[in-house]
Structure 1
Amino acid sequence: MKILFVSATATEILPLMGFLDKSAIKKDENFYSFHQNDIYILITGPGLMSMTFAMTQFGSLNKIDLAINIGIAGTFDPDCMLGSVCNVYRDKIADLGAEFPDGSFQDIFEMKLTDKDEFPFKDGWVYSNSKTDVFHDLPKVSGVTVNMVSGNLSTIEKIKIKYRPDIESMEGAGFFYVCNLLHIPCLQIRSISNYIEPRNKANWKINDAVKNLNDTLIQFLADDYLNENA
């Protein structure tokens, strides 16, 4: 298989790269051979624009059998354990649209600027399109992607009421969008670093989230699934 791991930052994927440096054959910068599988690493930079540009400029994209967007995320669910890992099955941009004088918001689908069911959208969402169930043990969650991370109660409540998401990131919808348009099987695997609340980084568990995320990915690489599908 040819597998592409996509991360917004090096920090979020550094342990996996360390594992590959020790356990795989390094064929080029951010390109490895592991158990007869080609493993590519793409670090895009944070945000939708960086993600979209980096994905479309990746030269081997049309050869990829599975693309996996990995990273940390915030959760809207107060019962979700910090550091837990989840499988994002759908995503959408939560702040692309127009704000009105009364404080209400309409997204581009409600404004009739884009058809909510025009490919690759389904009711305004973009979905994981991978048929693999290799991460079947992870909880499936619904995500939103934002340009401005939610940090006050008003913004948080508006997003929760409008979209009922489980998690929030800054890149996920862009990743799904590119992969679906180019017909590349894709997954989005994230770990929870913080609760989405009035911003207070003292409460965040970034190190735990990064460790647990990368442990999950390393286990995926070591699993027989890769040998069976090489």
Structure 2
Amino acid sequence: MLKNTGNNKINSKILIMTSVEAEQNAIREGLGLNNERFTLALAGVGPMSAAANTATMLANSDFSLVINMGIAGGFPESASIGDVVIALKMVAADLGAESENGFKPIEELGFGKSVYTVTPDLVDKVNAAIQIDSLISVHTKTILTLSTVTGTTKSLEELQQRFPEAGAEAMEGFGVATAAELKGVPCMEIRSISNLIGPRDREAWRIKDALESLKVVSSILKEVL
């Protein structure tokens, strides 16, 4: 097992933001009783709620790392149900403008940024630990943040064309990252896959499997971070 044995582990405080309580409960179970370094808080649903709630948590205490964790939809052929995706980048995929020539990200409009890049060493450390200490398939890819969950083949194909490197989509990552970046705190996003992106089919969702993966990953995080 890979472990963080340095003194920085003793002094580090890590904030984990989840969308809903079910995700939080799975993570808490994985962390176990000796999890004083970890603070779990609810981000709410969507990037705006996530940014506001993360900013509130960061204003009230000092943290060395913020992690957005939860379940997500996986892009077909990029991730399977129960797999874990660690974000290399967190991208606000619908932040920008439509045009006759296709979608224009906010960078092209000159109004800000839509991409948060995660520290590579942090991604590598967590990725290696999960692969060594579990049977979970792990992917390091872009995770998209959307205010509207994809539910049609057309929308799926449009996202795949714009972001061929994407592995998953969720609704909070970029919001959490925005708050963390403004505070100068590193941030990362870890998602377990509950369903494949495409035509909306709640019957095909495997939330229990995804929550179990979150629990396993959390038990590893407390050893490596």
Q: Name the TM-score, length of structure 2 as normaliser.
A: 0.81
Give the one of 15, 23, 30 matched to 1:4.
15
Residue 134 to residue 97, structure 1, CA distance change in 2 (3 Å): closer
Indicate the structure with greater helix content.
Answer: 2
1:134 to 123, 126, 149: 126
> What is residue 135 of structure 2 aligned with on the other side?
none
Structure 2: runs of 5+ lacking an equivalent: 1-11, 132-137
Cα offset, 1:62, TM superposition? 5.5
Question: Which SS does the other structure have where 1:73 is aligned?
Answer: strand
Deviation at 1:214, TM superposition (A): 1.4
Is the CA contact (8 Å cut-off) linking 2:81 and 2:210 kept in structure 1? Answer: yes
Q: Does 1:96 align with 2:88?
A: no
**Matched residues, number:** 203
Cα deviation, 1:162-213, whole Å, max 9, x if unaligned, reads: 1222211101111222222322122211101111111111111111001111
- In structure 1, what is the equivalent of residue 62 of structure 2? 63
Larger Rg: 1
Question: Residue in 2 aligned with 1:108?
Answer: 106
Q: Residues of 2 paired with 1:179 and 1:146: CA distance?
A: 18
- Give how far 1:107 is off: 2.3
RMSD of the TM alignment (CA)? 2.2
Q: Secondary structure, in 3 states, of the residue corresponding to 1:23?
A: coil
Partner of 1:200: 201
CA distance in 2, matches of 1:128, 1:61: 24
- Percent identity, please: 28
**Aligned-partner SS, 2:22:** coil
Counterpart AA for 2:47: L
Contact kept, 8 Å, 2:72 with 2:194, in 1: the verdict is yes
Change (3 A) 1:181 1:59: closer
Matched ranges for 1:114-129 at <5 A: 114=112, 121=113, 124-129=114-119
Matches within 5 A, 1:158-197: 158-164=158-164, 165-197=166-198
Structure 1, residues 132-191: CA drift from partner, whole Å, max 9, x if none? Answer: 313323421111111011111121111111122221110111122222232212221110
CA distance in 2, matches of 1:16, 1:126: 24
Distance 1:16 1:110 in 2: 38
The whole-number CA distance in structure 1 between the counterparts of 2:159 and 2:75 is: 10
Q: List per-residue Cα deviations over 1:78-117 (Å, max 9, x = no partner).
A: 35220111211101111122234x5832222223333xxx
- The answer to whether the 8 A contact 2:85-2:167 is kept is no
The one-character-per-residue Cα deviations of 1:3-51 (angstroms, maximum 9, x if unpaired) are 111101111121232455x623xxxxxxx52xxxx22111111111110
Q: Give structure 1 stretches of 5+ with no counterpart.
A: 25-31, 115-120
